[in-house]
Amino acid sequence: MSQRVAVVTGGASGIGRATVARLLDDGFQLAVFDLSPDPVASVLAINVDVSDATGVERATNKVIAEFGRIDVLVNNAGISGSPQATTCHETPILEWDRVFAINVRGPFLCARAALPVMIRQGTGHVITVASVAGMVAFPGRCAYTASKGAALQFAKSIAVDYAAAGIRSNAVCPGMVQTPMTQWRLDIPELRAAVEARVPLGRVAQPDEIADAIAVLASNRLSYVTGAAFVIDGGWTAL
């Protein structure tokens, strides 16, 4: 069998960057969709906004032209929203729409573009990076919580609709992870202490720890698993 091909959205930083490195180590050919992709050797870096339908279709066609297939799509690109995106009545409509454009529309567009080639192959795996916020509400983060709940259910919907075509879909649900998106909060000692006090393991996760879970799913070692939510939160949601 030819070398397996993975597409990672938001692959230039945080969890996405760690996932790209891990999948490269595991022998995948890699394509990265990002607004600012790194020109890494052996990686097809494509500048694309995942909320732009035309751009996603064009980027996916480039991957197919380069590699001929897509075995794994990692829907990782996501945003938490600006400081204005707080409780429902305080969140500007444009900010709500921006969060949903990246966190929900993005996975939809990327899966919609990749699924036809997976169907032709008779195999494929869509891995969506959701969040424990999609399972329990994060206070004061209405748009983010709602968007991650939608992303989680989207992953389950793909699992149900495409299982007969040989395609699996799973979600990875991290708790707090130290990434550029969360660094501002973790840099404030009292905020970091408040977060870590809620985690039984007593610390936030590192991107590599989430990438490990994504890599296990991408490896096909868990071939009977689809429609699952893999919680990686140091015990946060067990409390």
pLDDT in tens, 63-108: 999 999 999 999 999 999 988 999 999 999 999 999 999 999 999 9
Q: Is residue 197 situated within a structural domain?
A: no
Give the CA radius of gyration of the chain: 17
Q: Can you list the alpha helix ranges (DSSP code H) found in the chain?
A: 14-25, 53-67, 93-100, 106-121, 142-162, 183-186, 189-197, 207-218
Q: Is residue 130 situated within a structural domain?
A: yes
Kindly state the percentage of the chain with pLDDT values over 90. Answer: 87
Q: Is residue 189 situated within a structural domain?
A: no
User: Quick one: pLDDT at residue 209?
Assistant: 97
Going edge to edge, which strands form the sheet with 29-34?
43-47, 29-34, 5-9, 72-75, 124-129, 167-174, 229-232
Confidence (pTM): 0.95
Active site residues: 144
Place of tokens 């096909």: 220
Give 126's strand partners.
Answer: 73, 169
Q: Is residue 184 situated within a structural domain?
A: no
**Mean per-residue pLDDT over the chain, rounded:** 95
Q: Is the pLDDT of residue 1 over 60?
A: no
User: Quick one: pLDDT at residue 32?
Assistant: 97
Total domains in the chain come to 1
> Mean pLDDT throughout 144-172?
98
Domain CATH number, residue 88: 3.40.50.720
For residue 186, the one-letter residue type is L
User: Quick one: pLDDT at residue 180?
Assistant: 81
**How far apart (Å, rounded) are the C-alpha atoms in residues 185 and 206?**
15
pLDDT in tens, 159-204: 999 999 999 999 999 999 998 878 777 888 888 898 899 999 999 9
**How far apart (Å, rounded) are the C-alpha atoms in residues 96 and 45?**
29
Instruction: State the chain's maximal CA–CA distance in angstroms.
Output: 53
31 secondary structure, DSSP code: E
- Name every residue whose Cβ is closer than 8 Å to that of residue 190 and which is 6 or more positions away in sequence: none
**How far apart (Å, rounded) are the C-alpha atoms in residues 216 and 59?**
26
Q: Is the pLDDT of residue 39 over 80?
A: no
| Domain range enclosing 144 | 5-177+206-234
- pLDDT-derived band at 155, boundaries 50, 70, 90: very high
User: Quick one: pLDDT at residue 179?
Assistant: 87
Q: Is residue 186 situated within a structural domain?
A: no
